[in-house]
Structures are given as structure tokens and as C-alpha cells.
Amino acid sequence: MSNANLRAHLITFGCQMNEYDTHLVQSELASLGAEFVDTIQDANFVLVNTCAVRGKPVEKVKSLLGKLRKEKERRPLLVGMMGCVAQLEEGQEIAKKFDVDILLGPGAITQIAKALESHDKFWDLTFRDEVNTYVPPPPKGTLSAFVSIIRGCNHHCTYCIVPKTRGPEVSRHPDLILEEIERLKAAGVLEVTLLGQNVNSYGKDQPGYPSFAELLRMVGQIGIPRIKFTTSHPVNFTDDIIQAIAETPQVCRYIHLPVQSGSNRVLRRMGREYRREWYLDRVRAIKEALPDVVLSTDIIVGFPGETEADFEETLTLYDEVGYDHAYMFIYSPRPGTPSARHFQDLPREVKVARLQRLIEKQKEWSYRKNKRWEGRVVEVLVRGTAKEDGYAEGHDRGNHPVLVPAAQAPEPGLYQVEIKQATPHLLYGEVVGSTAPTTIPLTVM
């Protein structure tokens, strides 16, 4: 197919890393002259970026590819699959079954141009350095952007497919990261989220690279008003990182620190390298250095062998930390992972009932935590109109969703907002002023 006639439709499942990768591929396609369309019907090339972390997203990909195969029977259509499912044997079988034309693993996405030139099926599952050296142009029309700083994961959590799909840790050269952020700044971006499966390990795999703490300080110097990062691993969340956050005002006091379970027995079976006491000590150190910190976490309920007593330890840990927010998942056995191979899955009713109890706990805490912001003034990055009529939506430095009357925030940007009312899910406020990014000191010692 000639690229000039390419009408591409991109569909993304999964995490922020996948969103970033889709943007990367989209930039490459744009440079080839592709046009982007909003529906499958209007497209002659559909590219699906896939997620393998739980059973559900894989099922969704299969049903989408089924639909695309039918479409292919009716008209010329090129189908591509990239991302985490593509990398797995399971994914390659899916690709064969659904007649997928282009298959690119997460480390091979820069091969998209070559894939489109090929007159045959094109499969590439190798990790290529280009995926880390490519500097995509700033995404259009957004004030908030992602920047990949490290790919892959060196941990071996027994339930997790990610090390298999994304391979070992490979840090990106700091010059490229800084260059990308400079470009985002020049394009008017106000918030950057540094991405990786485990950002805290940044630099360890490459001699001479800065540590994550040092990188945070370097990125702070650029002067983008808001810097966030995700995901952190409790084992690698060292004191120097906490100190760098405390001393770099651009870095938001928001930390996502997945705990997975509060029971040491379960943590051990999960292959998480820390124990409850270690985790709680990290939280203590964080709270001490960053008094207003907003904390969120990931929790898996119903890991094989999790007893009622184990689960209750997760509940008590939740109370001890007092999370602002949590992402909660029912354990999903992933083919080929150690926990799926060696352990018996718990009955679904048990898992669902525990999830319900945990959700109750989360709502209670989120409400309590959100209430604390009532009457305070926070900086909100307004993105645009909200689903709720008459409101504009945005988020504050702690990642809370915030709604303000649309008339008070006619343009996207940073506003000072007084929080009037909190719910378990979001904050309602009134604009008390708009802020130029300069309210934050732009040069730090």
C-alpha cells in the first residue's frame, strides 16, 4: 500500500506506556504522510496496541481482531497488532488465527515504516535501540504529556507477564529525555509524566547515567511547572529519591507506590522483594519529608493461597497508610507466569467478595482524604469541558480530578482553585485566580 493513501485508525489498550508508544508510532506514520481517521470504517489500516496484563484486555483484543477479520473479507484492509500481546506466543497464535498483517513487539515499534513497505506479512519481535533513541514530536493540543525514561522490568513478580512482554530494563539516554522535555516545554506543555515499569531503577543498567533522583533534579531545571512519574517500586524507592522530590518544587507530591498485598506470606509468594515492614517504613519516610503527599497504590486481591487472614492484613495496611486512592485488581492467572503454573486459582466468588470489601475501604479513605482539601486552594490543570454539564475538568498536583464551573475556566491552563466540596471520587472548586507557571520557582539550587 502506498503510504500517501494510508488512512490509519489506531486503538490503544493498556497502560500509559502503551499510550506513549501509540503516540510514537502515530508520529512516525504522520511523517510518512498518513491521514488519521476516527473509525474502523473509514480506515484502510487499523493498528491495535495491546495489553496482556490480565485476561480481560486480551479477550478484548481477540474480539476486536475477530471483527477486523470479518471486515477484511469485505474490503482491502491492513491490520496491525503491536504492544504486549504481540510479544507473547499466545499473541502470535492470535495473530495467525485472525490474519494479522503486521506484528510488532513493544521493542520493535519503530519498524512501522518497514512493515508498511513490505508486501508480505511483517513480524518483528526484537528489542531495538531505536525505540529508546526516537524522540517523538510533542502531541498536539495537550498540556500534559508522557515521556518514557526506562523500558522493561528486572523484577520477577510471580503473577506478572510484563517482564516477558517488555524484557529487561533499558534506560534511555538522559540527553534524549531532556531534549524531549525541552521540546514539550516549547510546545506549551505544562505537565510531564516520566514513564517506566519501574522508574526508580532508572540509570542502573547503563554506566555513567544519572540515578533516578539525579534525573528528577535535572528535569526540574527545565522549568516545566509539573513533573510526575510512574510507576515506582517500593524496593527501589530509596531516600535519595525522596530527598530529590522534597528539594525540587516542580516535582508533584504525588506518589504511586504499588504494594500488591499487606501480608508477608503473600508478598513472598508474589516474589515481591520487600516485606510489609519495609513498605511501611518507606511510607513513613515519604510522609516525613513530604507532609502533604498524595499516595496511591495497586493491590491484587485473591492471589492464589491468600487466606482470610492474609486479606485482612491488606485491609489493616490500607488503614495504616491511609491511601488517597488505589487501583484494585482481581488476580488473573497469566499463561506462562510462575504463579499460574504452580498455584491453584481461588474461587471467583471469594475473589469478587474480597474486591468488594476492599473497594468499600478505598471509598471510605478517598472520601476522608479528599475532605481534607475542602477550603484549601490548589493548582488545577484544566483540560476542557467535563461530562458533567456546566463544568470544566482538570486535575491538581496530587492527581485528584477537580471540577470547576466552566465559565470560570474558559481556556485550558493552570488555575488557582478553592476546593468547596469533596466526594469520594473528585473535588469541586471555584476558580480564585489563574496562574502563570511562574508561581513556581523556575530555577532551583
Binding-site string for ligand SAH from residue 254 to residue 293, where x marks contact by CB under 6 A and - marks none: ----x-x---------------------------------
Q: Does 14 bind ligand F3S (CB under 6 A)?
A: yes
CA distances in angstroms from 235 to 76, 178, 259, 278, 284, listed in the order given: 50, 26, 10, 8, 14
State yes or no: residue 10 binds ligand F3S (CB under 6 A).
no
CA-CA-CA-CA torsion sign (129, 132, 135, 139): positive
Only one of the segments 45-53, 277-285, 355-363, 416-424 lies at the binding site for ligand F3S (rule: CB under 6 A); that segment is 45-53
CB 423 within 8 A of CB 370: yes
Q: H/E/C letters for each residue in 97-153? A: HCCCCEEECCCCHHHHHHHHHCCCCEEECCCCCHHHHCCCCCCCCCCEEEEECEECC
Given candidates 24, 46, 47, 51, which one binds ligand F3S under the rule CB under 6 A?
A: 51
What residues from 57 to 116 belong to the interface with ligand F3S (CB under 6 A)? 83-84
Element (H, E) at 330: strand 325-330
CB of 300 to ligand SF4, least distance (A): 9
Q: Which does 259 bind (CB under 5 to 8 A by kind): ligand F3S, ligand SF4, ligand SAH, none?
A: none
Smallest separation, CB 160 to ligand SF4 (Å) = 3
Chain positions 144 to 203 lying near ligand F3S, rule: CB under 6 A, are 161-162, 165-166
The H-or-E segment that residue 283 falls in is helix 276-289
- Of 110 and 198, nearer to ligand SF4 (C-beta) is 198
**Exposed/middle/buried for 84, CB within 10 Å: 0-12, 13-18, 19+?**
buried
- Residue 160 binds ligand SF4 (CB under 6 A): yes
Segment near ligand SAH (CB under 6 A), from 87-95, 183-191, 331-339, 433-441?
331-339
Q: Which residues contact 439 (CB under 8 A, 6 or more apart)?
A: 379
Is 252 known as a binding-site position? no
Residue reference for cell 481461588:
346
Q: Nearer Cβ to ligand F3S, position 336 or 441?
A: 336
Query: Which of 20, 146, 318, 329 contacts ligand SAH by CB under 6 A?
Result: 329
Q: What is the DSSP string of 212-254?
A: HHHHHHHHHHH--SEEEEE---GGG--HHHHHHHHH-TTB-SE
Contact of 406 with 391, CB cutoff 8 Å: yes
Binding part of the chain for ligand F3S, among 31-39, 47-55, 124-132, 237-245 by CB under 6 A, reads 47-55
Residue closer to ligand SF4 by CB (options 137, 338) is: 338
CA distance 376 to 372: 8
Examine residue 217 and tell whether it contacts ligand SAH (CB under 6 A).
no
HSE (CB half, 13 Å, CA atoms) of 424?
8
- For ligand SF4, the binding residue among 68, 147, 162, 422 (CB under 6 A) is 162
Which residue's CB is nearer to ligand SF4, number 185 or number 233?
Answer: 233
Binding-site entries for [4Fe-4S] cluster? 15, 51, 84, 153, 157, 160
